[in-house]
Structure formats: structure tokens, C-alpha cells
Amino acid sequence: MINSMTAFATCGFQDEWGSVTWEMRSVNHRFLDYSIKLPEVLRSLEVELREILRQKIQRGRVECCLQYRSVAVACSKINVNTILVRELANACDEIRLLIPSAKGVNPLNILSWPGVLQGNEEDLTLVKKATVVSFTQTVDALIVNRAREGAALQKLLETKLQDVNAAVQKIRMRFPEVVVAQRLKLSNKLQDIQAALDGSRLEQEMVFFAQRVDICEEVERLATHIDEMLTVMRRHDKATSIGKRLDFLLQEFNREANTIASKSVDSEITKIAVDMKVCIEQMREQVQNIE
């Protein structure tokens, strides 16, 4: 099975001290890129959380956001640093002596001064432990959701590969008829220019024609690419990234389809090749989301 890079997950933990809730979103990206948003009191956990994420996910843009609600903060008593307030008040009196027109000080402005309000120091030991555990659980849930999305992507890609394979078989069946029809057309043309008596001329022209429009190699390479892509999707190591490999294969798909379309002298084969290119482009769009 393959993993998508697009998914969402959320997990949380609640206890007497409060609650922590993680939300994670991931989208496609060439490499692993992530952001971890933490409240300032838990910022020291960022290095540990980054390492957990790097060990579990190979590719994608992952956004991690933590919501922390503390019962201790909600219920704690507000303490005022009276010594600092007196110093601020004295400073304001000195300013009024220097500037008599200065307005009085709003008490709310004093309360907003750093260090005026003091709270009881919170024990974050249990909070940090819960934060790390719930982060790991959320990453695991994200991986499960990415795998679920990946299964849907794989099913879609296999269906598209069946369409490409059907197109390849149609071209295989059609091409011999095209060669016969072109040989007859060329023979009639040579007769019109009174060159039909020269049998070697006809064979020479047919050789040139065959070299110019032969698409057998491109068709066989397409068949090989189809088998390789199925193998990569069904048998890959889950610990490795396969999105880049699939994208490279589809570039080769597109190259062969373009060559077939450019060499074709038959409108039906041209139409098949164009339809095949559309299908290949649809697969390339979906592969961009694979890890």
C-alpha cells in the first residue's frame, strides 16, 4: 500500500491539571517540512517533538498546533507586586513634577507593566508528559489517515493504468494494419508516378517509411513501465518514500506517449495516444500527493 501526504488528525488528553489537544494537517511537499506551534511554557519540548515527527514521516508539509488549557491558571489567585507598583507610582510623580501638564496614570496601565502581576509557578511535569504522549498518538493517527487516503489513490492509479494498458493493446493491434495500408497507399502513389516497375524503389520507400513511423519500441517500453509502476506500488518498503519514483516513471510514460503521437500517420493511433497522454497527466497530478 502507498501513503498519501494529504490528511488530518486530532488527539487530546485531559486530567486534573487541564487538557492538551493536538491538531495536525499535512499536504504534499517535495521533502519533509513542518511547523510545531506551542505555548511559550512548553517551548522546551519542540526539539523532542521534531525528532518524533522525523522518525515517523518522510515527506509532506505537516502543521502541528497545540491547544493547552490549564486549570491552575484559570483558578489561580492574582498577586500584585506592590513593591514594583510603588516604584512605578514614584516614577509617575517625578514625571508630573517635570511635566505639570502630564495626565494621571490609568491603573490598568500599571497592571499591564511586566512583573506587576504575579501568579503561582505551575508544575508542568505532567503536562509535558501528556503533551509528548498525545503528540505521538496524533502523529500515528495522521499516518493511519494518510494510509487510508493512499489506498484510495492506489485504487485510482491502478484503474488509470488499466486504461493505459488498454490503449497500448489497441495500438499493438492497430499498427500492423496501418503498415499494410501505408504500403498499399505508397504502391499506388508510385504507380501514379510510373515508378511501379521498379520493385526495389517500392521496398526502399517502405524501409524509409518503417523507420520513420515504427512505434514498436515505444509501445514495449510503455508496457514495461506499467509493470514497473504496479510493482513499486504493491511491493514497496513502507519505511521509504515512493512518490518521487512514481513521478519519474510517469515522466517516462509521457515521453513514450509523445513519441507515439508524433510518429503516428494514422488518425486512430493519434487519438489513442492523445487520450493516453490525458490519462497519464491525471496520474501525475495524483502522484504529487504520494509520500
pLDDT of 238: 60
Stretch 203-219: mean pLDDT, rounded?
Answer: 73
pLDDT of 180: 80
1 vs 25, residue with greater confidence: 25
The one-letter amino acid code at 118 reads Q
For residues 167 and 105, state if they share a domain: no
User: pLDDT tens, 216-254?
Assistant: 889 999 999 999 999 998 876 665 678 999 999 999 999
For the cut 60, the answer to whether the pLDDT of residue 76 exceeds it is: no
For residues 163 and 103, state if they share a domain: no
Determine the Cα angle at 130 with ends 128 and 136, to 5°: 105
Select, from the ranges 5-14, 92-101, 192-201, the one with the highest average predicted confidence (pLDDT).
5-14
pLDDT of 197: 47
For residues 15 and 89, state if they share a domain: no
For the cut 60, the answer to whether the pLDDT of residue 120 exceeds it is: no
Cβ-based burial of 86 (10 A; exposed 0-12, middle 13-18, buried ≥19) = exposed
For the cut 80, the answer to whether the pLDDT of residue 73 exceeds it is: no
CA distance linking residue 3 with residue 233, whole number of Å: 10
For residues 256 and 133, state if they share a domain: no
Residue 124 phi/psi, 5-degree rounding, is -100, 10
For residues 138 and 218, state if they share a domain: no
Neighbours of 74 (CB within 10 A): 8
Tally of domains within the chain: 3
Stretch 5-14: mean pLDDT, rounded?
Answer: 94
For residues 157 and 271, state if they share a domain: yes
